[in-house]
Amino acid sequence: MSGARSPSRRRRRGLRRLFLPALILVAIYFCFLVYPPMRVAWLIWPAWEPGTPILLVLIVVPIMGRLAYEWWPGAWARRVAALSMTWLGMAFILFCVVLPWELLNLLLPLPGQTSGLALAAIAGTLCLGAAVNAQLLTVRELKLPAPGLDRPWRLVQISDVHIGSREPALLRRIVAKVRTLEADAVLITGDLIDFRDIQREDIGSLAELSVPVWYCIGNHERYVDLEAICERLRSLGVRVLRDEVDLSVPPFVVAGIDDADSRRRVADGLAAIGPLPEGFRVLLYHRPDGLEEAAEAGVDLMLCGHTHNGQIVPFNFLVRRVFPRIKGLYEMARGDGGRTRLYVSTGTGTWGPLLRLGSRNEITLICLQPPEH
């Protein structure tokens, strides 16, 4: 009898293991994304009684809109998905406004309708600012000493453009801006694309860059049609580096390592590549991990992205817990007397919601300067 009951017990345990995560996910979804707009609506219109169509719009439509592209790939479905994710981002911003009000209201009851109008105005202003900020491109110039180079070099880093979540027009704007910077080379540190079936013409503006372009994959390329993406990029003249080194532009030794969840990925990737040749060594890796291993391998400059600096506050506080090197420049001394510098881009585009709050879209201009310059 115990043997006969055993499969049933296993099934029940399996259902319990699935039920708890599903329950947590639904609770988070309602708490962060459904409750805030309904709460503000009830404050403004106390007698409001939403019917089934309105509830479906608030609860189901955003998720269905995001999934539209998975069912019917195409430009229009990408736009629907982007709008759905933007609505969810706006609901989260509204939650961040409503939560302090709820806590204060527990201590000091506040007038309902006036509060609702004020909360809507504050959240609306923040969302409008975040939407405008998501369209802006900021060039950050970084001057770094570069012993061993015989002349100054201008490198441009772009990262986390997220074509799919973002329209190809954003990449065209980025390329146009990069061309004005008189760069000697462009380095792309992953998440250029985040939807499957992005066509060659959608990223074709990269062919307008007349300088060497190197690229390493990010996590979002891994989630979709990675091999097809790499082939499309190669056809545009982009040098795709997957656990390999490119020596075609002396004195640069440019290595690229595939993204992975493992914290040992940089160490494993460098081990697979082997000792790096002599020259100015640049390492491209999507996540800001592995600075210690890069320094041990004699890397001069490591470029990463991935974090978006949280993209929407207060996510930056959460992201910093996972990636302490969340943005900007970090340095580490090497055993040979040199220094390895890591730069973490805040991202050139946005993922999911077309919103940025407390962070910025960044094109990084890295000016490498020999000691005598």
Q: What is the pTM of this model?
A: 0.90
Q: Are strands 362-369 and 153-158 parallel, antiparallel or unpaired?
A: antiparallel
pLDDT of residue 326: 97
Q: Hey, what amino acid is at 78?
A: R
Distances (CA, A) of 259 to 222, 239, 306, 334: 8, 16, 10, 24
Q: Which residue spans within 205-361 are E strands per DSSP? A: 213-216, 239-240, 244-246, 252-256, 280-284, 301-304, 328-333, 339-344
Task: Copy the structure tokens of residue 206.
Answer: 């990269």
- Kindly report the backbone phi and psi dihedral angles of residue 318, in degrees, each rounded to the nearest multiple of 5, phi listed first: -70, -45
Q: Hey, what amino acid is at 248?
A: S
- Going along the chain from its start, the domains and CATH numbers come out as 2-133 (no CATH), 138-369 (3.60.21.10)
Q: What pLDDT digit, counting tens, does each position of 106-122 carry?
A: 998 889 899 999 999 99
Q: Is the pLDDT of residue 231 over 70?
A: yes
Taking residues 354-370, report their average pLDDT.
96
pLDDT of residue 192: 98
User: Would you call 22 exposed, middle or buried from its count of C-beta atoms within 10 A (0-12, 13-18, 19+)?
Assistant: exposed
pLDDT of residue 4: 47
Q: Would you say 180 and 208 are in contact if contact means Cβ atoms under 8 Å apart? A: no
pLDDT of residue 276: 96
Q: What pLDDT digit, counting tens, does each position of 258-307 carry?
A: 999 999 999 999 999 999 999 999 999 999 999 999 999 999 999 999 99
Q: What pLDDT digit, counting tens, does each position of 198-220 carry?
A: 999 999 999 999 999 999 999 99
Which residues share a beta bridge with 239? 214
pLDDT of residue 28: 82
